Amino acid sequence: MTDALRINVGCGKTPVMGWRNFDNSPSLRLASAPMLAGILQTFRLLSEPQMAFIRFARENPIEYGNATKRLPVPDASADVLYSSHMLEHLDQQDALSFLREAKRVLRHGGVIRLAVPDIELKVHQYLETKDADAFIQSTLLTSQRPRTLGARLIFLFVRPSYHLWMYDGKSLSRLLESQGFANPQVVKAGETRISDPSPLDLCERAEDSVYVEAINP
């Protein structure tokens, strides 16, 4: 492992040791405000998964950072920017903002690696099963409306983490190219153009992901 700066954006519960790991979950901010988190938990405004992430964030090196605005990272300072299952939670405008920020922080020749749910894979699964309900549910492009007062309060404070857009390898490659990244390529799980990628998990969520890498020229 070199001393080069490597960034993991939207890391969730999979930070990479030796990298700078960023997430913009409200739960991350609550991790540094235990009294507020306790109050919200008392009034059942936090779910158990949210509380689990708060506990995880207190014990792991995760920094708060909103990559659709500005990360606390100097221009042209990073050799690698990696993001897994984050982009699909952004709408199209925020996705463009994220890629502009990625270009800002990556040095010339730096690698961006993105992993997203593969809509092509989900379509093939639907064509095999003909189960429309399972297909819609698997895309996470919609969620149930909150019906109780408690559910509405939770929705007000912590929005559900559903998908706002989805990609296949070709569409994600086009998106990267449209923002000035060079030579976008779909790569197989376990493969990469990143020099000395350890300890990055190159097979993270391989069962439903497509991986695309490109170069900041």
Cα gap 156→150, rounded to integer Å = 10
- pLDDT higher at 204 or 41: 204
Q: Which of 212, 213, 195, 211 is nearest to 203 (CA)?
A: 211
Q: Which of 138, 15, 20 is nearest to 80 (CA)?
A: 20
**Strand bridging mode 209-215 / 106-117:** antiparallel
Q: What is the DSSP letter of 10?
A: S
Q: What is the pLDDT of residue 157?
A: 53
pLDDT band at 119 (very low <50, low <70, confident <90, very high): very high
Q: What is the pLDDT of residue 84?
A: 98
Q: What CATH number does the domain located at 5-24+65-117+164-215 have?
A: 3.40.50.150
Condensed to tens digits (0 to 9), the pLDDT of residues 160-191 reads 678 999 999 999 999 999 999 999 999 999 99
For the ranges 7-11, 18-22, 74-78, 142-146, which has the lowest average pLDDT? Answer: 142-146
165, 95 contact by CB (below 8 A): yes
Q: What is the pLDDT of residue 154?
A: 58
Place of tokens 């990556």: 106
3-class SS of residue 67 = coil
pLDDT, averaged across the chain? 91
Instruction: With a cut of 80, say whether residue 153 has pLDDT above it.
Output: no
Q: What angle do CA 123, 125, 127 make, to 5 degrees?
A: 70
Domain boundaries, given as residue ranges, for the chain: 5-24+65-117+164-215
pLDDT band at 145 (very low <50, low <70, confident <90, very high): confident
